[in-house]
Amino acid sequence: MDSKLIIGIGEFKAAKNPSILVTLGLGSCVGVCLRDSASGIGGLIHVMLPDSGGKVVNKPGKYADLGIPKLLEEMAKLGANISRLEAKMAGGAAMFKNTGSSMEVGKRNVEAIRKVLASKRIRLLSEDTGGNRARSIEFTVESGVLRIRKVGGGETTEMIEI
């Protein structure tokens, strides 16, 4: 039986098979899922903001620039080979209408995550980002399947897998 691990806002977790990594309430936040299929190790981070601005922070998982490297360290400690990692992500919605570009946190989060992944040479396999609907996700480490539940926007709940 797979164990479900819940990752809160600004948190990250690395885990071995069999594990399912879950995060809820991704609005402008982005869930980034990483996996080394050969070692059976995966990770998930719930990124809240794109950049720490170089500040020393007590919760690095809130920021794409600090959190993703910290998650990579945790995965390496479990035995993941960083050069084999693949990524998927979901979230980054525009939750507020008629805001200026500086308030497009979701879009900025997605761009920052892409930049960090590229700098670490981690291939982004798929994503479900943008729009105006909140998401909750479940990432199955063993298979690499990312299940996404979209809610809001006056539409019915939608379930997809990437």
Residue type, 83: S
Cα(52)–Cα(102) distance, integer angstroms: 15
Residue range of the domain that includes 27: 3-161
Which residues 6+ apart lie within 8 Å of 29 measured at CB? 9, 46, 47, 48, 91, 92, 106, 109
Paired strand residues for 87: 34, 124
Cα(15)–Cα(99) distance, integer angstroms: 38
Q: CATH number, domain at 51?
A: 3.30.1330.200
Count: domains in the chain: 1
Question: Using one digit for the tens of pLDDT, what is the confidence trace for 50-109?
Answer: 999 989 899 999 999 999 999 999 999 999 999 999 999 999 999 776 555 557 999 999
For residue 87, the model assigns a pLDDT of: 98
Question: Using one digit for the tens of pLDDT, what is the confidence trace for 106-137?
Answer: 999 999 999 999 999 999 999 999 999 999 99
Catalytic residue from among 7, 15, 22, 29: 29
Is 33 a catalytic site residue?
no
